[in-house]
Chains A and B, each alone.
Chain A
Amino acid sequence: MATVFMKWLETRPEVYDRGIRLLTLGRLAKLHEELVSRFVSPGMTILEIGCGTGTLTRSAAEAGAHIMAIDRAPVMLAIAEDRLSETDLGDRVSLKLMDASLIGDRYDPESFDLVISSLAFSEMTAHSRSFMLAEIIGLLKPGGKIAIIDETIPEGLLKRVAYGLLRFPLRVLTWLLTRTTTHPLKAFPDELVRSGYSSECAASSLGGALQLWVAEPLPEEDGSVDAGLEIEQLTYRRTMRTYLLDIWSLFFRIIPPYPKFTPGLYKIGQPDDNSPILVTGNYELTVRRLVKAIDGALDAWLLVADSNGINVWCSAGGGFFTAERIIEAVRTSGVDRFVKHRALILPQLCANGVDGWRIREETGWGVHWGPVYARDIPAYLEANRKKKDAARWVSFPLKDRLEMLSVTLAFYGLLIMIPVAIFWRDGFWAVMMALVGLGLFYAITLPWLPGRDGLQKSIPLTIIALLGTLIYTALVDPVPPADVFNRILGITALSVFTAAELQGMSPLMRGEQANWIPEALVGSVLLASYFLVPILVGWT
């Protein structure tokens, strides 16, 4: 049920807009106005990068300009389209679902008078920004400009401290209310200059935390456009931070925000132009496991693509980690400058969402499906990109089962045990022991319990648990029939819940959401009998 509610919340467009309004204390609209009144004139052709719900798009169109607005989030774009249909601006605006890294391919050179963007550049990595700025130069007509509104960290120590003090509680509040957050830019004017632009801050708000930059390409000097970004080397290290993170993720890794790794190109060891390119998502634990398996064993390039900070399998299944994200990473990282070959090695488990053929067609790079587990990568590369069957199959050994059990139990433990602690303190330890005991028993005996999915496996689990309860009741703690009945109901409910919900932790079974209708039915029957049976039988 919780997931349904969260999903419902996420689909509410006003929630995102409200979050952004709160985070910028309402000043964003002022800067939008400023941008439109000073730099947009009727008849202009404008490209908007990352239009989101289309607020800036609309005001620029109202000023009489023609706008191509692109965004890579279908939900946001659908809202923008919806809102636009309520106006008569339709013939001046064209909305497109597109990743910004593709603008150079999709639009003709010198076709825009102005490129605008609001809160989109701060969502990109430094590599992406430098790539985008270079692409935009080619798309601007002579005399064309860019106007970018974004959040920034103010310069000067005093301002920074004040900013931090104001921003932290605001960020927490906004996250709690709307699950929205942003990542302010640092020293953006320097980036503009490095990419060959002039830069001028045209307006600023919130003590410099929200700024409007206007810039135009400078006449090209020889070789000045190549920003020549340093490639960072990753090594496997354990620090206080990684220990704390490991402890947190042992119990609460399913609770967002997930620890994210900055997407981009990295080195492991000392790779040269023949070294393999490994692609992965930007969940920090994934990157760390990968680096642990590779560092010291071989030299490789690591291309971290944006998977919304989620592991590759779930992210690809959920539609976040796609061919587009990998194409974007290949383009914006400039990885082709570092290697002679054209082969990407992708994690096998992202194949449920990343269309390999689309990457091959769009980029001309070869796509190879690496092994499931990072630990098999050295052997895979040594065998010339051939996997043994064991390296292509997911497994679910006891160690993983116990790890996933602690993750699931911690989360459901909070959901179940807090109400129990409040409303039924006497039953706290009994419920706790039953939950942990059932979970442990299930995790250990999972491969041997008959049944192919969590629901079928819940039948043997329930029978065993009921036998245990009855023996305990008969031999250790005899109680009146009404209490025996309640124990039976409680244990049945917990067993079915444990087996059906913990299905989601296994990579060998379909997701646990497949179970929730039968589970809800069993739950309602048990609840109904809890109230009805005592009346029918006449217990008081």
Chain B
Amino acid sequence: MSEGPSMQEVLLEHVELARTLRRLEIHFDPEACKGVWQCYEVCPIGCWIPDYDGRVVEFHHGERCIACGACVLQCPEGAIELRVPDA
């Protein structure tokens, strides 16, 4: 039983994961947005609202975000990130 991570390492990793999951926030760069609205298509909470005049989206109700990461993955411009805010 010498290979692989120890119980303690897995536990610590889990602690870190739990901490991160609680603190993740959406960071959106409106300058990079080209208005494909994939984020609007996939957000199950309704945090992304298309701006039909400006051909971009707006991020609303950040406090409801469940950090599922769908918008981050589907944004072709990489304009959306899930980050732990800087201390």
Interface residues of B, dominant DSSP: helix
Instruction: Encode A499-512 as 1/0 by CB contact (under 8 A) with B.
Output: 00000000111110
Q: Are A79 and B3 in contact (CB under 8 A)?
A: yes
Q: Complex formed: what's the CA distance from A509 to B7 in Å?
A: 28
Closest Cβ of chain A: how far from B14's Cβ, in Å? 5
Cβ-based interface call for A394 (8 A)? yes
Q: Which of B5, B18, B73 contacts A352 (CB 8 A)?
A: B73
Q: Tell whether A392 pairs with B18 under 8 Å between CB atoms, given A11-B10, A357-B76, A510-B66.
A: no
The answer, yes or no, to whether A443 is at the interface (CB within 8 Å) is: no
| Pair A352/B68 contact, Cβ less than 8 Å | yes
Quote the shortest CB–CB distance from A2 to chain B (angstroms): 12
A79 to B5 CA separation, bound complex (whole angstroms): 12
C-alpha gap A8/B38 in the complex (Å): 36
| Nearest CB of chain B from residue A73's CB, rounded to whole Å | 15
The residues of A that contact B42 with a CB separation of less than 8 Å are 348, 351-352, 369
A502 to chain B, nearest CB (A): 15
Counting CB contacts under 8 A, is B54 at the interface?
A: no
**Contact partners of B10 in chain A: CB under 8 A:** 4, 7-8, 11
Interface size class of B (residues with CB under 8 A): 20 to 34
- A513 near B17 with CB under 8 A, answer yes
Q: Are A8 and B7 in contact (CB under 8 A)?
A: yes
Chain B positions 38-87 with a Cβ under 8 Å from a chain A Cβ: 38, 40-46, 63-64, 66-70, 73-74, 76
Chain B nearest CB, measured from A62 CB (Å): 21
Interface positions of B from 18 to 41, Cβ below 8 Å from A: 18-19, 21-22, 38, 40-41
B19 CB, min distance to chain A CBs, angstroms: 7
Q: Is the CB of A508 within 8 A of B45?
A: yes
Q: Give chain A residues whose Cβ lies under 8 Å from the Cβ of B74.
A: 351, 355-357
Size band of the interface chain A makes with B: 35 or more
Name which of A36-44, A190-198, A514-522 contacts chain B.
A514-522
Q: How far is the CA of A87 from the CA of B49 in the complex (A)?
A: 56
| Chain B residues, CB < 8 A from A82 | 3
- Does any Cβ of B come within 8 Å of A382's Cβ? no
Give Cα A514 to B66, complex, Å: 11
**Is B63's CB under 8 angstroms from A452's CB?**
yes
With contacts A7-B10, A351-B73 taken as known, whether A394 is within 8 angstroms of B41 at the C-beta atoms is no
- Which residues of A line the B interface, CB within 8 A? 3-5, 7-8, 11-14, 79, 82, 317, 348-349, 351-357, 369, 372, 389, 392-394, 452, 507-511, 513-517
- Show the binding face of B for A, using Cβ within 8 Å: 1, 3-5, 7, 10-11, 14-15, 17-19, 21-22, 38, 40-46, 63-64, 66-70, 73-74, 76
